[in-house]
Structure 1
C-alpha cells in the first residue's frame, strides 16, 4: 500500500463504535472529513441492513455498507441492495440437517429479504431485539427455511465461541461458511465463499480500487478474511487474538476511538 489508501473499510461493532454502541462525535467528524476529501469509507459488518439506521443517525451522512458478513452490499442513499448472495433453501435445509445431527438442542434464525427481516424458531434466544417489528417467530422448520437467507444464525445455549464455531464449520464444510463475532456462542453461517473479504472485493472492483489500496479495520474472527485481503489490515487493541495475529498494525481500542486515531495519522485530519 502507498502512503494514502484509496478506500477505507471498517467493521462497526467493537471497532468503530464504542462499547455502549455509540459513535463518538470525534470519530464521526474524522470519517466525514475523509469522505469530503474524496476517499470512500465503507462499513463492513455482520449487522443486517435494518440495524444500520442507529449508526447512520450518528454520522454526518450514511455510508455504503457491506452487511451480513459480505452477503449484502447496500447503498443507503438510494435505499438499494446492489448485490445479495444468500443461502438457497435447499442449502439451508442441508446445513440445518447436519447441525441438528451434530449439536443437540441447537436452534436457528435466518436473515431474509436482504436482511430486512429476521425469522426465528420460537425457542431461539433473542439477545438484541432492537427492532421487534423486523423479527418474527415461526412454528415449523419448513417455514423457517423456506426463503433464501443471507445469514443463518445458530445457538445451542452458552458455548465457548471459538470451539462452537469450529464444530459448526466442520459440520458444514464444503457447503457454507461459519464464523462468529460475539462472545455468547452465536455462530453466523453464510453461503459458501461469502465473507467480508468477498463482499468488499466485489464493491472495490465496482469502484476500480485494488485490494492493495484498501485500509481495513476490525476486531473479531469474521473480520479476519477482510483484514487478510486488504493492503493494510489494522486491528483495534481490544481485538480477538485471531485478528491480532493477521493484522499488519494495531491501533488503540474501540473505546478510545482507535479507528479515528489511526486515520488522523494517515490522512492528517486531526
Structure 2
C-alpha cells in the first residue's frame, strides 16, 4: 500500500463504535473529513440493513455499507441494495439438516429480504430487537427455510463461541461459511464464498479500487478475511486473538477511538 489508502473499510461493533453503541464526536468528524476529501469510507459489518440507522443517525452523512458479513451491499442514499448473495432455500435446508444431526438443542433464525426482516423459531432466543415489526416468529421449520436468506443464525444455549463456531463450521464445510462476531455463542452462516472480504472486493471493483489500496479495521473473527485481503489490515487493541494474529498493525481500543486516532495520523486530520 502507498502512504495514503484509496478506500477505508471499517467494521462497526467493537471497532468503530464504543461499547455503549455510540459514535464519538471525534470519530464522526474524522470520517466526515476523509470522505469530504474524496476518499470513500465503507462500513463493513455483520449487522443487517435494518440496524444501520442507529449508526447513520450519529454520522454527518450515511456511508455505503457491506452488511450481513458480505452478503449485502447497500447504498443508503438511495436506500438501495446493490448486491445480495443469499443462501438458497435448498441450501438452507441442507445446512439445517446437518446441524440438527450434529448439535443437540440447536435453534435457528434467518435474515431475509436483504436483511430487512428476520424470522425465527420459537426456541431461538431474541436478545435485541425482539419487539421490532420486522421480527417474525414462524411455526414450522419449513416456513423458516422457505425463502432465500442472507444469513442463517444459529444458537444452542450457552456455548464457548470459538469452540462452537468450529463445530458448526465442520458440519457445514463445503456448503456454507460459518463465523462469529460476538461472545454470546451466536454463529452466523452465509452462502459458500460469502465473507466480508468478498462483499468488499465486489464494491471496490465497482469503484476501480484494488485490494492493495484498501485500509481495513476490525476486531472479531468475521473480520479476519477482510483484514487478510486488504492492503493494510488494522486491529483495534480489544480485538479477538485471531484478528490480532493477522493484522498488519494494532491501534487503540474502540473505547479510545482507535480508528479515528489511526486515521488522523494517516490523513493528517483531526
What TM-score, normalized by structure 1, do the two folds share? 0.99
Q: Which residue of 2 aligns with 1:117?
A: 117
Q: Which residue of 1 aligns with 2:187?
A: 187
Q: Which residue of 1 aligns with 2:224?
A: 224
Q: Structure 2 unaligned segments of length 5 or more: list them.
A: none
Q: Which residue of 2 aligns with 1:22?
A: 22
Matches of 1:175 and 1:159, distance apart in 2: 23
SS at match of 2:77: coil
Q: Structure 1 unaligned segments of length 5 or more: list them.
A: none
SS at match of 1:243: helix
1:130 deviates by 6.5
1:127 deviates by 1.2
Q: Which residue of 2 aligns with 1:75?
A: 75
Matches of 1:20 and 1:255, distance apart in 2: 9
1:119 deviates by 0.2
Is 1:168 equivalent to 2:168 in the alignment?
yes
SS at match of 1:132: coil
SS at match of 1:177: strand
SS at match of 1:239: coil
Pairing 1:242-257 to 2, within 5 Å after superposition: 242-257=242-257
Q: Which residue of 1 aligns with 2:126?
A: 126
Alignment RMSD (CA, Å): 0.6
Is 1:7 equivalent to 2:26 in the alignment?
no
- Indicate how the Cα distance of structure 1 residues 46 and 131 shifts in structure 2: closer, same or farther if over 3 A, else same: farther
Matches of 1:230 and 1:124, distance apart in 2: 35
1:18 deviates by 0.2
Pairing 1:34-113 to 2, within 5 Å after superposition: 34-113=34-113
1:220 deviates by 0.0
SS at match of 2:169: helix
Matches of 1:251 and 1:105, distance apart in 2: 39
SS at match of 2:150: strand
1:132 deviates by 1.3
Matches of 2:166 and 2:268, distance apart in 1: 41
Deviations 1:212-236 (A, max 9, x none): 0000000000000000000000000
Matches of 1:22 and 1:130, distance apart in 2: 21
1:131 deviates by 5.8
Structure 1 residue ranges (4+ consecutive) displaced by more than 3 angstroms after TM superposition: none
Is 1:208 equivalent to 2:230 in the alignment?
no
Deviation larger for 78-87 or 127-136: 127-136
Matches of 1:37 and 1:131, distance apart in 2: 40
Deviations 1:102-158 (A, max 9, x none): 001000000000000000001100111166111001000000000000000000000
1:244 deviates by 0.1
> How many aligned residue pairs are there?
270
SS at match of 1:183: coil
Q: Which residue of 2 aligns with 1:157?
A: 157
SS at match of 2:12: coil
- Indicate how the Cα distance of structure 1 residues 71 and 131 shifts in structure 2: closer, same or farther if over 3 A, else same: farther
